[in-house]
Structures are given as C-alpha cells and as structure tokens.
Structure 1
Amino acid sequence: MDSLTQLALGAAVSVAVMGRRTAVWKAALWGGVVGTLPDLDALIDHGDAVLNMVRHRAETHALFYHVLAAFPLAWGVAWLHGERHQWRRWWLALWLVLVTHALLDAFTVYGTQLLLPFTDTAYGIGSVFIIDPAYTLPLLLGVGLALAWKRSGLRANALGLLASTLYLGWSVGAQGWVTHHARQSLAASGLPAEQVLVTPAPLTTLLWRVVSVDDTHYHEGYYAWADRGRAIQFRSYPRGTEALGAYASHPHIPRIARFSDGFYRLRWVDGELWLADLRMGQEPYYVFEFNLGPPVPPGSEPSAAVRVGQRVDSASGLPWLWARLQGQEVPPLGEVLAQPRPGPRPPSASMPNPIETSLPSPSPARLP
C-alpha cells in the first residue's frame, strides 16, 4: 500500500496496543514511523530494473524477521522515553505494526514475500488497490480523534481499525463473486477460464479488472457493480510467446513469469524485447514493463533490464474510471486515448469529454 496508508495503519495499531500505558502522541508517532520502515527497501538499487522489482517486499516484509527487528526497536523507544519497565508492551506494539504492514501489502496484487527465509514465494491476494481512500480514511480519522481527544479518543481509533478491517473483508468477498462471474462470462465467450486474475480498479472496489491468459493470448475485461450482472466483454491480445525461442536463456523471463504467476506479455520494439507484468496497469499501459535488449548468444551475459513502464495520467484516466463505475459501456481506456484529439475549437466552445467523444465500442475480440 502507499506510504500514507501504512503510516496511518502503524499509528492506529500502536495506539490501540499501547492504550493508556503511554501518551497517545508517542504511540502514534512511533507506530507511524515503524509502519513506513519496511518500504525503505525500495531505495535499494540492485543494478537491474527487474531485480529491483522482484526483490522489493522481501526481507523487510518477512514475518520471521519482524519478530527479531521488533526487539531493538522496542528497546530503543522504551529507553528514549524512560519507559523501560514496559519495553515488552512496546515490543508487542511495534511487532504488530510491522506484521500488519506486511499483511496489508499481501492484500494487493504486487506480491509480498512473507515467509522468507523459508521460501521466496510472493503472496498477493489482489483484492485492494495500492491506494484506496475507503480503507485509509477510517484509519486517519480514528488516529486524528485519538490525538485530539487524548485518552477518550481510544475508542474512535479502535472503530477506525475495525472499519478498515471490515473493508478488507468486503474486498475479498467482492473479488470472489467477480471471479465467479468472470469465469462464467469467459466460458460463454469461448475463452479460457482456467487462469484468471481479478483485481480492483484504481481507488475503488466497485470496479474490477479481469485478465485471463492462455498459451498465446491474454483477454481483458471490466466489471462494475453498476453492471448489475451483465456479462463481461473481453478483448484479446497476443502474448508474444513466439519470442521465447530467441530468449530461452534469459534469466528475467522465468523470473517475471514466476513473480507474476504467469501473467506476463512479450513484444518486439525496434528489435528489442519488452517484457510486461500484466497484473498492474491496463492495456496497453503497464507500470512494470522492461526492455530486455536485443537477443544475446547462449552463454553470453545479457544487458541489464531497463524499466519502460507507463502510467495513465489522472486527467485522462479519471473521466474513464467515473464513466465505467456508473456502468456505462465505454471502450477500454487504451482505445479512448489512441483516438485522435479534436482539432482547434473556438474559444467559446468547451472541450469535449474524451469518454463522450469516443467511438462506439467494437465487438468483443475472440480467438478463432
């Protein structure tokens, strides 16, 4: 999750555990600080863009190491505030801050290596987006009221934690229902329904992105709760797996294939291979896309991967998101942005909404 959310969660957990044993501001301060520490691993440069991706959320997010790290952190905080008699309570608070940070990250689709050093498997439920105001705001409100009302605000902080936790439960339940509906829609369209990814759209769990993959293609569609059970329409795109032969010895392809649970795409760009993680983004914009360079002879050392991923700017994405949230049958965002912009208009004329001026949605793509 984003840093603000992790800060708010850490502060809320610390305040709840410490209770009246220390000043609320102390618990909130150190909970917020420790709640952001695990993400500092993003500052480590491993010399390669793919390695930077797959080694994020690793040791600093592992539950085993959290047990060990909480000891010096708790002792330091207790000694600093002259509360060495309750360092065990500080240990419990800061340990839970670290653990909840990692567990919350596991609710996103990125992948969190919770069980290092025993396994480097990355766990990702994928039921919440990395930024979701519906999760974060109750935490911020609860901590704010606890700081303003001091000891009498502890109940507000507990209610904020409860509300955010219930929202996570809702997200998992909603994801499960959409997954069931997506498999039905895929089967009705004659598309594969064995390997399916269902993740929320940015900022909300009221709109979901669905991706299905097979050996040669991936299929993308969206479902909003405002669709009221309407079948999901999918578009199909080539995965570029024919390029695997030229890159059979490249270590990054199996690395990304494993990290993304098989949801990846290859494509040639000016004689160089670009590799994308299909889980984060939407066609054709993916946050984690990498240029692997030209093919190299077997046994030769490949060049370092370069990240070339793109994000959709909010000015273009938010109108589409709002329209789709309302259940409107609009073309995918990539198709909307690919359309030519309208020419110069008189100063008195207002610029059209890109959704309103988009072409009618083409019929769903299907494999032969």
Structure 2
Amino acid sequence: MDSLTHALTGAIIGHALGDNKIGPKAMILGAVAANIPDFDVAFTRFFDPVEAMFVHRGFSHSLLLMVSGSILLAFFLKRFARTQYSFGFWWLMVLLPWLSHLTMDIFNTYGTALFEPFSSFRVSFDSMAIIDVNLLFILALTILALFFFRKKQYRFKQLVGILGLVMVTLYFALNVFIKLSLEREVKERLTASDIAFTRIHSTPLPLTNLVWMVVVEDSASFRVTQVSILKKQIVSHTLLLRGNVDKCSDPIKRIKEFTKGYYTIDIDGRGYFYVNDLRFSSLESLYPAAYVVRFKVDETTCKVQRTHPKRGITPGNIFDLMRKVF
C-alpha cells in the first residue's frame, strides 16, 4: 500500500494503544512505525534494476526483522523515553503498526517476502490496489473522528479507532470475496465457451475495487480484460502475444521469476527489447501505455533498465474510470 495508507493505519493503532499514556505522540509513533518496512527504498538504488525489484519488500518486510527490530526499538524507547511505562507497552506500540504494514502489503500484487531469509517466496493475494480511495476515505474519516471527539473519554475514542480498523478489515475481506467470485465466474464462462486456458490472474484497477483487470493465460498469449463489477460486463479487452527472445538469458530468467510468468516481450527493432510485467493494473486501457512495470534490455550488452512505474492516474483516465464504474 502507499505510505499515506500505512501512516493513517499506524496512527489509528497507536492512538488505540497509547493515547491515554503518551497523548498525541502515540499517533505519531504509530504512523512512523507503520512505515518502517519501506526504508528499503533507500537501498534499492545500490542494486541493478532487476535485483532491486527483489530487494523492495524483501527482508525489510520479513516477520523475522519485524520481531527483532520491534524488540530493539522497544528497548530503546523504554530506556530513553523517561517514562514509567513497561517494555511491553513500547513493544506493542512498535510491533502492531509494523505488523499492519506487512499485513496490508500481502494483499497487493507486488508480493511480500514474509519468510526471508528462510524462504524467498512472496505472498500476494492480488486483491487490493496499491492506492485505494475507498480505503483512504475510511482511514481519513476515522482520524477526523478521533480529532473531533478528542475531548471525549479515552475509552470512547478507543472504540472509535477500533471501529475504523474493523471497517478496514471488512473492506479487505470484501475485496477478497470480489476477487474469488470474479475468477470463479470467468472460469465458468471460459469452460462453457470451450476456451482453453492455463491460469487466471485478477487485481483491481488503481483507486477503486469496482473495476478489475483479469488476465487469462493460454499456451502462447494473454487475454487482458477490464471488468466492471457493478455493470457486470467487460469494458476493455486486449489480446497480447507472449513473445520470446534467445538472448540475455540470465537477466531474463530473473525478470520472469519476478513476474511469476505473467510477462510479454516486445522487440523495438533498435537494439532493445522490453519485458513487460502483466500483473500490475493501470487506468490506461491500451498497450503498451497500460504496462505499469517494464524492463528495457540492451540486446548487445544485456544491460537492463527499468522504466518508472506508470499507473495512468490522470484526470482523463479518472473520468474514464468513473464511466466504467457506473
């Protein structure tokens, strides 16, 4: 999820745990602790573009670092905060916002290496866009309510915060339900139409959970559609050939590993080719503009460049998204 979503979630958790003890500092500590895992972005620049994709949400997002790091920070806070509060209090103030970050991120497409360094497997449920305005609205409304009721008794404000977190949890559950229902319906339609397929990938478009991208893979191509949940119809459809190259096998192997096999290859005819990750959704409907993550590979040197992720969040595309929703 984006940094703002993590910060708001951490602030609500921090308030629920410690507002009656350390006041507004509880929100600040929660917001900071919830963004600790993303410190890895400061180090990705020291890696080549392919390996950098594995560094992000790698060990920094592991359960091992969360537990050990939160214990160290709790000892530090206990020692230097000059308060009578226990180690357990400070540990929860760091641990739970940190845990919220890892928990939220596993619902995105990117994948989170929870079990590093013991396993490089990346957990991803592909059911939440990295930026979701509905989720941000719930979180922002909860924060505003906490400020509005700031003079109320702590137990009442704590209940408001917990209610906000329950709503967030239910929203995540709703998206999982939508994803499972959508994929089941797609499989039934493909089977009824006698269309062969090997795998299906689905994920919501940026900003909303009411339009989803569905990728249907067969032996040589991908059918990429955008499906409106309310309209119950396909609002965009594209057929993409997988493509293939017999050069630069080492970096290509790593890129394929990152994409989990959902990739296409485009040759530009000017000494480069592109490997495109199909798992990420964009507000764009037409390819190649709709590719969010692309790797540009030099055919001669095999040097890889990664283009900056583009999710197509522009005023025109947002207007088009509203048309697809309603």
Show the 5 A alignment for 1:12-23. Answer: 12-18=12-18, 20=20, 22-23=21-22
Distance 2:23 2:144 in 1: 10
Show the 5 A alignment for 1:28-107. Answer: 28-44=27-43, 45-107=45-107
Q: CA RMSD in A?
A: 2.1
User: 8 Å contact 1:142–1:158 — kept in the other structure?
Assistant: no
Equivalent residue number for residue 246 of structure 1: 247
Consecutive unaligned residues of structure 2, counting only runs of 5 or more, are: none
Q: CA deviation at 1:313?
A: 4.3
Distance 2:237 2:194 in 1: 11
Relative to 1, partners in 2 of residues 1:206 and 1:306: Cα closer, same or farther, differing over 3 Å?
Answer: closer
Consecutive unaligned residues of structure 1, counting only runs of 5 or more, are: 297-301, 327-368
SS of residue matched to 1:121: coil
Deviations 1:313-366 (A, max 9, x none): 41231122111112xxxxxxxxxxxxxxxxxxxxxxxxxxxxxxxxxxxxxxxx
User: 8 Å contact 1:175–1:199 — kept in the other structure?
Assistant: yes
Deviations 1:226-256 (A, max 9, x none): 224x478743111112x2x233x2x222222
Deviations 1:123-148 (A, max 9, x none): 11011101112222222332333344
Q: TM-score, normalised by structure 1?
A: 0.79
SS of residue matched to 2:86: helix
User: 8 Å contact 1:131–1:202 — kept in the other structure?
Assistant: yes
User: 8 Å contact 1:221–1:235 — kept in the other structure?
Assistant: yes
Q: CA deviation at 1:293?
A: 0.8
User: 8 Å contact 2:213–2:224 — kept in the other structure?
Assistant: yes
User: 8 Å contact 1:111–1:122 — kept in the other structure?
Assistant: yes
Distance 1:308 1:30 in 2: 31
Corresponding pairs, count: 315
SS of residue matched to 2:216: strand
Equivalent residue number for residue 134 of structure 1: 134
Distance 1:93 1:192 in 2: 51
Distance 1:281 1:174 in 2: 16
User: 8 Å contact 1:24–1:146 — kept in the other structure?
Assistant: no
Q: CA deviation at 1:166?
A: 0.6
User: 8 Å contact 2:225–2:234 — kept in the other structure?
Assistant: no
Q: TM-score, normalised by structure 2?
A: 0.89
Q: Does 1:291 align with 2:290?
A: no
Which protein has the larger Cα radius of gyration, Structure 1 or Structure 2? 1
Distance 2:149 2:22 in 1: 12
Relative to 1, partners in 2 of residues 1:84 and 1:43: Cα closer, same or farther, differing over 3 Å?
Answer: same
User: 8 Å contact 1:192–1:212 — kept in the other structure?
Assistant: no
Relative to 1, partners in 2 of residues 1:310 and 1:225: Cα closer, same or farther, differing over 3 Å?
Answer: closer
Distance 1:178 1:53 in 2: 29
User: 8 Å contact 1:182–1:232 — kept in the other structure?
Assistant: no
Distance 1:142 1:162 in 2: 11
